Chains A and B, each alone.
Chain A
Amino acid sequence: MNNASAIELRGISKTFGSIKANQNVDLDIRRGEILSILGENGSGKTTLMNMIAGIYYPDEGKILIDGKEVTITSPKDAFKYKIGMIHQHFKLVDVFTAAENITLGMRDEKGVYNIKKINQKVLEMSKKYGFIIDPKKRIHEMSVSEKQTVEIFKVLFRGADILILDEPTAVLTPQEIRKLFDVLRKMREDGKSIVIITHKLNEVMEISDRVAVLRKGEHIATVNTSDTNEKELTEMMVGKKVDLNIERKDPVDPQPRLEIRNLTVLNKDGIKAINDISFDINGGEILGIAGIAGNGQKELLESIAGLVKKESGDIIFHNPKKNKPVTFFHKDLKKIKAMAAEGKFHYPNGERVDLKGKSNKEIVKLVNDEQILFYEDEIIDIKNKKPREIQELGIKLSFVPEDRLTMGLVGNMSIVDNMLLRSYRKGKSVFLNRKRPKDLADTIIRDLEVATPDDMTPVRRLSGGNVQKVLVGREISSSPKVLMAAYPVRGLDINSSYLIYNLLNKQKEKNVAVVFVGEDLDVLLALCDRILVLSGGIITGILEGKTAKKDEVGLLMLGNRTKETAEIADNKKSEEEVNG
C-alpha cells in the first residue's frame, strides 16, 4: 500500500432544506486501500459519497483528485476522473444481457457494433479480475449477487480506479459476501481504491485497511483498522449520551398485550426479513425497537398489522376485556349467548351470567346497560386475520415512511377526508358524512398545533412535520389498544418531536401498548421502558430503557448479541444440528 491520496475532500458541506447532511467533512481516500465509511442511518455516508460520484453537488468545500481541484457535476464527470459508484439499487436494464449492460453507453471500436466481439472482450476482462460472468445471460434471469457482480464489473470495465460501494453486503448471503471480499482484495492488489459504505462492524474489521466514522453529518475520525476495535468504533459512531429530559413514568402493572412467538416473515425477494423471533409487547409500556434501517423493523410491524404474510409463527393478542362490559361490537347476539354459556361473563356484583331463559330483548338491554362483564381478557390469535379485523381489534399502525405520503395518507385529499378514510365503514348512507371527521380533524389541528390554513387544505401542501402529526393524531384518536409508531418524529423539529413523545406517553398511561420504532438512540433511551434491538431480522437483545447504555445498544445494532440472546441462538443452532 502506498500512501498517495487518490481523492481528498476538504471542508465538504451539504444541506437538504433544514437538514445538514454533511458538515465540513475532510476525508482522504488513498490509492490501493479499502476504506470503510461507518455510521448510523442519517449520518451522511451515502450523501458524502454521492458527491464524489456526481449525483449531488456540494454546497461548500473542495474535492481534489491527485492533488488537483475538480468539479464533479454528473456521473459522467465522475467517470472522467475514473470514479465509479455501485448503488444499492442496481442501475441495470433488466431485459439486456450482461455484456449489453456492461458496455451500455460506450463507443465501439471502429464504430462497429459486434455483439460477439463484445461478449468475447467482456469474458476475457472478467477472467482477468476473477469474476464469473456469463456475458449472454440476461439480468432478469440473475440472482442478486450475480447482478451485483455485473454492476461492479461494469464500473471496472469502464476503467474506474476508485470504486465506491454503497452497502454492498446488505443483499448477499454469507458465502456471497466472502466471494465479494475476495474480489475486492484482488482489486486492491491491482492498485484500485475501494470505499465501502457499511454499518456492519465485523465486515469493517475484516475487509478494510482504514475506517472513517461519520456521525450526524460530521467526520469524527479516520483510524487504521489494525489500531482499533469494535468497541471503540461503536463509541465513535454513537457518540456520548445526550440527556433529553423526556418524562418517563414507571409502567403500571404491565401485562402482555401481544405475544409474538417464533415469527418468521419473508421480504419481497423471499429472504427472511424476520427470522424466528419471540417477544412480548406489554400494555402500559413503551417498547422501543432499535436497529439500523432495513433490519426487519418494517416487516415486523407490517406483519403484526396483517399487511404482509407471515411465513410461520403466532401472534397472540390479549384483548384487555377483564371486568369490561360486553358491547355489540360484533353485533352478534348468538355469539354473546354462546360465550355466556361457556361462563365467560359476570354481573357487576360478581355473579356469573346465565342467559338461559332470557329473551333477546332482555339481553340487548343488559348489554346496553353495560351489565354483562368479562371475567378474563379475550385471547385471540391474529395470525390469520385480515388487516381490517386487526384494526378493529384496536391494533393500530402509524407508519411514517421515507416519503410520508405513501403510507396512510392521501396527499391530494384534505385533513378531513383523510380522517374519513379510517372511518368510512361507519357511515350509514351512500353519501359521506363529514361532520364527525371534521370535528376530529379540528381537534387534531388544535391539540397538536398543526400549522395549516384550514382543515380542507390538501395534506400534501402541509410541511412534513405537520403531515406526521395528522397521521399519528388520527391513529391515536381511535383509542387503540396497541399503537405502533414507526419513525413518528423523522424529520420533525424539536418542539414537534416533544409533542409526539408526550402523545405516546399519554397513550402509555392509558394502558395502551406502545411500540416505538426510532432512529435516534438518545430518544429511544430516554422514552422507552424496554428496548428491543433488531439486527438482520433477529433480536440481538432486549434491554431495560432505564439502565441501557448507548454503546451497548450500538453494539447490538451492529450484530453483537447479549448473553441471553446468544444462548437462545446457540440452543437453536444445536437443535438444528440434532434435527438436521
Chain B
Amino acid sequence: MFVNILTNAIRFSATFLYGSTGEIITEKSGHLNLGIPGVMCVGSAVGCLVEYYLVLAGVNVGFLLVLLPLLATFASGGLMGLLYSFLTVTLKSNQNVVGLAMTTFGSGLCGYMVSPITGRLHIIAPMSVHFSNMFGVAETNWFTSIFLSHGWLFYLSIVIAIVAQVVLNHTRLGLHLRAVGENPATADAVGINVTGYRYGATVIGCGISALGGFFAVMEYMGGMWDSAAYIEGLGWLSVALVIFTLWRPALSIFGSIVFAALYILGARLSVSFAMIEVLKMLPYVVTIVVLIITSIFGSKKTQAPAALGLNYFREER
C-alpha cells in the first residue's frame, strides 16, 4: 500500500517537476509567467494530437511515435513562450495580465483542439507503452517499484532539473541570466543582452513546462485524455511549487514528490469526498506556509529574483 502510493507519487511528480523547472528558468530571468498552466494545456493537447495522427497514419515505429509528439509539445510550449515574451519584453505589457490571459487562452485552445476527436483519442492509449517502464523491470520489490519502474520521460525530468540547477548556479550563462532577473539595469550596463536572455529563458522554460502536460497524459494516465481543466490544475500546482522550492530546481525534485503525493492521496485513501478536496488543497496551504516562513525569517538568498514581474525599460533611470 505505502510502496504503491509512493511509487505513484514519484511517477506523477515528473509533471510538476517539468512545470516548475520550466517556470524557475523563466522566473530567474525576471518573468513571472502565470501562463504556465495554459502552456501545459496546449503542450498536452498538441502532443496528444500528433500522437493521434501518427497512429491514424499507421506509423508503428516506436522511435517516431515518441520523438515527434515530444518535439511538437516542446515547440508548442516554446511558441507560447515566444508570444509571452513578445508581449512583455517587446511590447512591455503587464506580466500578470499577459500570463493570466495566456492561461485562459491556452486552456481554451486545448479544449478546442481536442474536442473534435475526444471520443476517438483513446486510440493513443496503447502507445503509452513506449513511454513507460524504461528499464523493463518487474515490480518485484519496493526498490524496483520506487526507483526503476518509471518511464524514461520521468528520468528525463530529473536530468533536466539537475542540469538546470547546475547551469543556473555554476556557469557564466546562469550568472548572466540571474543578473538579468535580479537587476536588469546593471546587467544591461555591463553589456548583457537583457532582451535576448529574457526571450531565451522564457521560450526554453515554456517548452520544458509543456512537457509536463504531455507527461501527465501519456505516461501517468496511460494515454487516457481527461480534460483541459485537469491539466490547468496541475499547471497551477507547478507554479506554486516554484515558490515552495525557493527557485531551486534540485529542491524541486523532492518538492514535486510531496505535491504529487498530496494530490493523489485523496484518491488512494478511502476517505470522504470532502476530505479529498481538503487533501488537494494541501499543496497550496504548504506553499503559503513556506511563503510566510521565508518572508519572516528568510535571507535574501531565499527570496524571489528582485526584478521578478518587472519589465525593463532602458530609458527609465
Contacts and interface: CB of A to CB of B under 8 A. Distances in A.
Interface stretch (B152-160, B170-178, B199-207): B170-178
Contacts of A106: 190
Given A93-B182, A113-B171, A113-B175, A105 B187 contact: yes
Contact of A105 (B182, B192, B301): B192
A182 to B, nearest CB: 27
Interface string B9-25: 00000000000000000
A274 interface: no
Contacts of A113: 170-172, 175
Interface in B291-317: 300-301, 303, 306, 317
A95 B304 CA distance: 11
B241 interface: no
B185 interface: yes
A96 B179 contact: yes
A140 B300 contact: yes
Contacts of B172: 107-108, 113
Given A104-B187, A105-B187, A113-B172, 11 more contacts: A55-B317, A91-B189, A93-B178, A93-B182, A94-B300, A94-B306, A95-B306, A101-B186, A104-B176, A104-B190, A113-B171
27 contacts: A75-B188, A75-B191, A91-B183, A91-B186, A91-B189, A93-B182, A93-B183, A93-B186, A94-B182, A94-B306, A95-B178, A95-B182, A95-B300, A95-B303, A95-B306, A96-B178, A96-B179, A104-B175, A104-B176, A104-B179, A104-B186, A104-B187, A105-B176, A105-B191, A113-B170, A113-B171, A138-B300
Nearest to A50: B317
Given A104-B175, A113-B171, A140-B300, A92 B183 contact: yes
A113 B171 CA distance: 6
B246 to A, nearest CB: 12
Contacts of B186: 91-93, 101, 104
A79 interface: yes
CB-CB nearest 10 A-B residue pairs: A105-B190, A91-B186, A113-B172, A76-B191, A93-B182, A93-B183, A105-B191, A105-B192, A91-B189, A104-B190
Nearest to B193: A105
Contacts of B190: 75, 91, 104-106
A566 B186 CA distance: 43
A91 B185 contact: yes
A230 B183 CA distance: 41
A277 B192 CA distance: 47
Interface of B: 170-172, 175-176, 178-179, 182-183, 185-192, 300-301, 303, 306, 317
Interface string A337-377: 00000000000000000000000000000000000000000
Contacts of A94: 182-183, 300, 306
Contacts of A107: 172
A116 to B, nearest CB: 11
A100 interface: yes
A79 B170 contact: no
A568 B211 CA distance: 74
Would you call the interface of chain B mostly helix, strand, loop, or mixed? helix
Contacts of A96: 175, 178-179, 182
Contacts of B170: 113, 115
Interface of A: 55, 75-76, 79, 91-96, 100-101, 104-108, 113, 115, 138, 140
Contacts of B317: 55
A93 B300 contact: no
Contacts of B178: 93, 95-96
Nearest to A101: B186
A47 to B, nearest CB: 12
A91 B191 CA distance: 12
A115 B169 CA distance: 11
Contacts of B189: 75, 91
Contacts of A100: 175
A96 B176 CA distance: 11
A423 to B, nearest CB: 32
A95 B175 contact: no
A182 B245 CA distance: 46
A93 B191 contact: no
Q: Find the residue from A92, A104, A115 having the highest chain B CB count within 10 A.
A: A104
Nearest to B184: A93
A104 B317 CA distance: 20
A453 B281 CA distance: 54
B191 A79 contact: yes
A504 B175 CA distance: 55
B16 to A, nearest CB: 26
A107 B186 CA distance: 16
Nearest to B303: A95
Nearest to B172: A113
Contact of B192 (A104, A108, A138, A140): A104
Most buried by A among B175, B300, B317: B175
Contacts of A95: 178, 182, 300-301, 303, 306
Among B170, B179, B188, B317, residue most surrounded by chain A Cβ atoms (within 10 Å): B179
A172 to B, nearest CB: 21
Residue of B190, B300, B301 with highest tally of chain A CB at under 10 A: B190
B171, B191, B303 interface centre (most CB from chain A within 10 Å): B191
Contacts of B183: 91-94
Contacts of A105: 176, 179, 187, 190-192
B178 to A, nearest CB: 8
Contacts of B300: 94-95, 138, 140
Nearest to A115: B170
A549 B242 CA distance: 64
Nearest to A53: B189
Contacts of A91: 183, 185-186, 189-190
B179 A93 contact: yes
A96 B179 CA distance: 8
Contacts of B191: 75-76, 79, 105
A55 B175 CA distance: 24
Contacts of B179: 93, 96, 104-105
Contacts of A93: 178-179, 182-183, 186-187
A93 B174 CA distance: 14
Nearest to A111: B172
Contacts of B185: 91
A292 B171 CA distance: 45
Nearest to B183: A93
A138 to B, nearest CB: 7
B225 to A, nearest CB: 43
B232 to A, nearest CB: 33
A55 B316 CA distance: 11
Contacts of A55: 317
Contacts of A76: 191
A91 B317 CA distance: 11
A101 B178 CA distance: 11
Contacts of A104: 175-176, 179, 186-187, 190, 192
Contacts of A79: 191
Contacts of B182: 93-96
A340 to B, nearest CB: 52
Contacts of A101: 186
